[in-house]
Amino acid sequence: MIQLVRGFKDVLPGEIELWQDIEDIMRNIFEEFGFTQIRTPILERTELFARGIGATTDIVEKEMYTFSDLKNESLSMRPEATASVVRAYIEHKMYAQNPVQKLYSMGPMFRRERPQKGRYRQFYQINAEVFGLYSPKIDAELILILMTLMDRLSLTEVVLHINSLGCERCRPAFKERLQIFLAERIETLCPDCRRRYEVNPLRVFDCKAQGCRESLEGAPTILDHLCEECRNHFNEVRDFLNRFQISYKVNPRLVRGLDYYTRTAFEVLAAHLGAQNAVAGGGRYDGLVKALGGPAQPGVGFAVGLDRLASLLSDRAPGLVKQPNVFIAALGDRAQDRAFVWLQALRFEGIRTEMDVEDRSLKSQMRQADKSGASYVLIVGERELEEGAAVWRDMNTKEQETVPLEEVVEFVKKSVMGIASA
């Protein structure tokens, strides 16, 4: 038997309903906040991610699915959405129409990480990006959107961490301070961090190795080294969060896995998820559009991990497969043919209807009806055809009545819809 590739998974009926609910809720929120959807391809030129995410990030260094196609062009499966959305913003000159664009997207991402609970090689994200606005109001608005999602999903046990990563004016000086601090502890760092120390010392804060964590005790933090503009920006973000009554924890050690972040960075964490506890993350990336060859337009966005959200929610309530309302038990060729047409007509009326097209025994069909969870069964056999009326059975009350064959669709519609709206 051929099995799934390691780190990949199927989302099966029974689970998918929950995923769809989350997507629907998120889509509604985005509409309310004036976002429009964008879909970008899964494959992009490798260079886009190398430049857009950062050549020295874990993602680009070791987690991408990269291959060369027939013309020896290096392509990669997207590990995140922002770089692609920025590419589209530039490529289609969306900024020329209006530099301010509020975009969202949903879809699979690919990272060749070590598979474990909450960590897959294909996982799903919901992403938001806003271009063209420097104002801290937008950072606060994006966080509000994210926390509104948590709220509508009744996920009250999550915590929001925020930080500021400074800008190209204040970060270089901080990087040097950090390097001096790390230089004295270089032997206690993991091999990865020894490398990071050279090229991108802030990334050491993101390391999960015990030794590295301990070495960072007493390390200088970026928050203490922000320039005045960055400090004001951060304070305003906090001020709006307070006004929106969103609680948060300022975490001066929060850095993000991508190189391009400036100023606001945030993460939503769920204690219940154990080691893989981040359900969403985001931040501002004011230099990215320009770095990818576009105009000097700022950006800010977030990504929600759908797999982890779904797993949080499914621990609480198992997903429900939508049950049919009506099951048609049809016996004999003639009744089967007639029922098959009713079946489709009822579905067009928006009534979830099922039948057994294999014409099994009445006993078997009633068992299937029961198992399907249908509220009503319409029974029709040779005798009903002769008498010109089918039998309508309410599965809860067990009451039965007869329905003239010509009126079946209208009758079922009235009974099902009538009860539903009562």
Residues that bind ligand ATP (CB under 6 A): 80, 111, 113, 118-120, 123, 125, 257, 276, 278-281, 303, 305, 307-308
Nearer to ligand ATP, 276 or 402 (CB): 276
Query: Given strand 376-380, what is the order of strands in its sheet?
Result: 353-355, 326-330, 376-380, 389-394, 400-404
Closest contact distance (angstroms) between CB of 273 and ligand ATP is: 9
Q: Using H for helix, E for strand and C for coil, what is the string for 102-144?
A: EEEEEEEEECCCCCECCECCEEEEEEEEEECCCCHHHHHHHHH
CB 300 within 8 A of CB 142: yes
Which of 269, 351 has the CB closer to ligand ATP? 269
CA–CA distances in Å: residue 389 to residues 381, 401, 407, 415 = 10, 10, 9, 16
Nearer to ligand ATP, 52 or 257 (CB): 257
Closest to ligand ATP by CB, 125 or 336: 125
* Least distance CB 35 / ligand ATP (angstroms): 18
Contact 260, 53 (CB under 8 A): yes
Distant-in-sequence, close-in-space partners of 246: CB < 8 Å, separation ≥ 6 = 143, 144, 147, 160
Q: How many residues does the chain have?
A: 422
Q: What are phi and psi of 91, to 5 degrees?
A: -60, -40
Minimum separation from the CB atom of position 340 to ligand ATP (A): 43
149 contacts 125 by C-beta, under 8 angstroms: no
Give min distance, CB of 143 to ligand ATP, in A: 14
CB 130 within 8 A of CB 160: no
The residue at minimum Cβ distance from ligand ATP is 305
Closest to ligand ATP by CB, 227 vs 278, is 278
105 touches 37 (CB < 8 A)? yes
Cβ pair 269, 247 in contact under 8 A = no
CB of 251 to ligand ATP, least distance (A): 13
Whichever of 283 and 294 has its CB closer to ligand ATP, that residue is 283
- Please say which residue, 61 or 359, places its beta carbon nearer to ligand ATP: 61
Beta strand spans in 208-312 (E): 249-250, 262-270, 278-284, 299-305
* Closest separation in Å from C-beta 80 to ligand ATP: 5
Kindly state the smallest distance separating residue 144's Cβ from ligand ATP, in Å.
18
Three-state SS for 270? Answer: strand
CA–CA distance, 101 with 411 (Å, rounded to integer) = 50
Q: Which is nearer to ligand ATP, 23 or 113 (CB)?
A: 113
Q: Which is nearer to ligand ATP, 48 or 385 (by Cβ)?
A: 48
Minimum distance of ligand ATP from residue 274's CB (angstroms): 11
Least CB distance to ligand ATP at residue 42 (A): 15
CA distance 186 to 198: 11
Residue 103 near residue 129 (C-beta atoms within 8 A): yes
Long-range Cβ contact pairs of 238-244 (< 8 A, separation 24 or more): 238/162, 240/136, 240/137, 240/140, 240/141, 241/140, 241/143, 241/144, 241/162, 244/140, 244/144, 244/147
> At closest approach, how far in Å is the CB of 145 from ligand ATP?
15
Task: Please say which residue, 104 or 342, places its beta carbon nearer to ligand ATP.
Answer: 104
Which residues is 268 bridged to in the sheet? 160, 280
Nearest approach in angstroms of CB 285 to ligand ATP is: 12
Which residue's CB is nearer to ligand ATP, number 233 or number 308?
308
